[in-house]
Structure 1
């Protein structure tokens, strides 16, 4: 008889939060100071927020480092009841932690992640692996698969990349990204920038902006990115280059793809896809 794993224990609160227990050992630090050490974390999804966060039982949090917030951020984090400032080595980090109003999550405290919002704890670990930006979603999958598809990229009619050796990256909730060998990209049309982003699934990306021969004013900055040291799960994209589907024209095996609408579309002039 074949048996299957039971469905994840996802629960809904009256406030619209989704949450489920996690079996991962999660630790958080501010610098070298341990603040969270939890073997019983829960993952929480807030309404209209595409990525989860962790909340932890109070007994697995250094509550001695928390102070009632002097200037609580009302209206954030789905009606949070209480905000805390975090004091570490004489440094006060405002609104670094909070509690949710849901009865299901009573007795739990959540923390901001510095590399996501610019405040909060700056080092996080699941088991012995450091993670960045936000927790990895157990319901999300990321696959990097080598391919022989013919992929061509154009910007304002100029062919900037053409390859028969892409790696296709399939990520739940996002359009397929086409990573191409550097020799198949006209690198003379781009210039490196100081911009970088972190991804809990892929690693830290470096970026290039379009400069072209005459320039295209409507092309956003940081339109090309690469992972020089990707995480092992997507090692196939190492040093390959991908383009912002939302802002370029991509043709795959002779078919022109429609430009997708994603959470990044509305911020195209301001930021990159991460």
Structure 2
């Protein structure tokens, strides 16, 4: 096995991949079956994909469970030409794994995460903690800071929240999110939703939708009932998508940002769509 020597040394391949070794012990399971058990994973960033994935040395993967893909998803990963189906629980998980074309990663195999793409392995662990959606990016920070700023939220001219005790989430690459105490939010103006999403940094979010007749996307309000320890300060608080509501902070109206969520928010889901989110939440 060829093991990268230095963790924290970001490298670039001719194909445009970024990668670096990780010192975390990572395991991946299909149900109760352990498919990956690796102490030498590498993190890989594909071009135009905002989050990393793991790739693993072949001898730390159950290669006996892999079969050449019957219908390979060519074009779904940067330059990848070799895809594998995974034999588990008496069936095949199609295109559950693949290899990158980069020479530096030739001895590694990457896997899909079911909670992100809807296929692949469904349980992942770093050390003894289960993680969701995708690996945590070592170059991303998420800070939850209590504040005394005066925050107001308006929808279609109606003030739906007013507080002087928010918790602000500062997350690399995203606008500041304002988490507000429930008693400072007009929850009577919203209906609970069956939509939920997961985030490797914050946990699992539940949602509410605006009850008004205005042209407002669904699921614009969310909360983390049981957040991960790093952002415990937002437990039970409520936050709005800055992209589609008007937020006033210390009497200064904030500009609506454009983010990766903007396109999703511009499309209204039907009641049959989106009950369980597979993308990272905000």
TM-score range, shorter chain: over 0.9
Q: 1: CA distance between counterparts of 2:268 and 2:119? A: 21
Tell me if structure 1 keeps the 8 A contact 2:58–2:108: yes
CA-CA distance at 1:270 after TM superposition: 4.4
CA-CA distance at 1:89 after TM superposition: 2.0
Which consecutive residues of structure 1, in runs of 5 or more, have no partner in the other structure?
1-5
- One of 256, 260, 273 as aligned partner of 1:259: 256
Which consecutive residues of structure 2, in runs of 5 or more, have no partner in the other structure?
1-5, 270-276
Q: 2: CA distance between counterparts of 1:89 and 1:74? A: 26
1:92 has 2:89 as partner: no
1:46 has 2:46 as partner: yes
Q: 1: CA distance between counterparts of 2:181 and 2:20? A: 40
SS of 2:243's partner is: helix
Deviations 1:89-122 (A, max 9, x none): 2111000000000001001000000000110000
Q: 1: CA distance between counterparts of 2:81 and 2:13? A: 15
In structure 2, the CA distance between the partners of 1:251 and 1:237, relative to structure 1 (3 Å rule), is: same
Q: CA RMSD in A?
A: 1.3
Runs of 4+ in 1 over 6 A off after TM superposition: none
Residue of structure 2 in register with 1:33 after alignment:
33
Deviations 1:17-44 (A, max 9, x none): 0000000000000000000000000000
Q: 1: CA distance between counterparts of 2:86 and 2:15? A: 26
Residue of structure 2 in register with 1:176 after alignment:
176
In structure 2, the CA distance between the partners of 1:79 and 1:179, relative to structure 1 (3 Å rule), is: same
Residue of structure 2 in register with 1:195 after alignment:
195
CA-CA distance at 1:81 after TM superposition: 2.1
- TM (norm. structure 1) is 0.95
Deviations 1:172-204 (A, max 9, x none): 000000000000000110000000000000000
Q: 2: CA distance between counterparts of 1:267 and 1:186? A: 25
- TM (norm. structure 2) is 0.92
Residue of structure 1 in register with 2:59 after alignment:
59
